[in-house]
Amino acid sequence: MTDPTGTPPPFGPPPDPWADLRAHTAARLALGRAGTAIPTRELLDFGLAHAQARDAVHLPLDADALAQRLAALGCTTLQVASAAPDRATYLLRPDLGRRLCDGDAQRLRALGQGGQADCDLLLVAADGLSALAVERHAEPLVQCIVSTAPQGWRIGPVVIATQARVALGDEVGALLGARLVAVLIGERPGLSSPDSLGIYLSWHPRVGCSDAERNCISNVRPQGLPPAAAAARLWWLCAEARRLGLTGVTLKDRSDGVTLPAGGPQRPQDEPPLPHPFPRGERE
């Protein structure tokens, strides 16, 4: 059957008006319906995303393999574990994930007292709630951070922490005498991002440091914030943290639109390094 112009009618469903919007977001919107339910394809996609998020939480971090890959980049590594003895305890007792186990605390204290790890910036690669994120993105992120380190900045060994929460970096940084600690940690998986990596930066790390005293760079992954951009933002924050002597809500991230010179932010030749606000003994 044709219309009066002789053009045959189109076959199939009309164009989806939501298609253009869905192309710009991973959010689940305008899924359609089959009767009173969502289409089978969307239900299966949701089940897959949920399973991937659960797997990311429970996947163990292969710390030895990560250490080997970082060593190939020329990085010295240390491996530590939190006070949570296993994954089940880690998920039920967040407080244990914020403190080192006794043996590793004593080992790091000895290294710190010997001055073997004294540094301006300490990197802690922690499994957090997504070891998958650390497996996939920690190595390229560390490579970008190290390769763009500003002149005069000392980067300590990369500490690989298992069963770890963000606050574990405070104790690690305090024991090793770091002026700044950046925790590269697997973020809580979402239904569109089971492998998102976060960076938490703290000035003068110490046990008991609150979340308000940290700066966060989130969603580090190729589909979010690429490692090179995350490294540039981290170094901008590091430079400002050293200039102001703080991190957290008082340090506003204004790195957007700032073009960083090759090799990262530079310190003027006449600007001496800021002294650490506390002697070594008080940091422990």
Q: Is the pLDDT of residue 5 over 70?
A: no
Question: With pLDDT > 90 as the criterion, what percentage of the chain qualifies?
Answer: 64
Assigned domain for 18 exists: no
Structural domain span for residue 65: 61-254
**Domain assignment present for 282:** no
Domain membership flag for residue 136: yes
d(CA 204, CA 170): 8
pLDDT tens-digit map of 69-84: 999 999 999 999 999 9
86 vs 5, more confident:
86
Residue 78 lies in a domain: yes
Give pLDDT tens digits for 148-170.
999 999 999 999 999 999 999 99
Considering only residues 55 and 201, tell me which one the structure prediction assigns the higher pLDDT: 201
Question: How many residues are there in the chain?
Answer: 284
144 lies in a domain?
yes
% of residues, the chain, pLDDT over 70: 84
Q: What pLDDT sits at residue 7?
A: 64
Identify the CATH number of the domain in which residue 245 sits. Answer: 3.40.50.11240
31 lies in a domain?
no
pTM beyond cutoff 0.85: no
Residue 37 covered by a domain: no
Mean pLDDT computed over 244-270: 67
What is the count of structural domains for the chain?
A: 1
Q: Which of 25-29, 111-115, 200-204 has the lowest mean pLDDT?
A: 25-29
Q: Residue 279: is its pLDDT beyond 50?
A: no
Asked if the structure places residue 279 within a domain, the reply is no
Query: Binning pLDDT at 50, 70 and 90, where does residue 41 land?
Result: confident
pLDDT of residue 190: 84
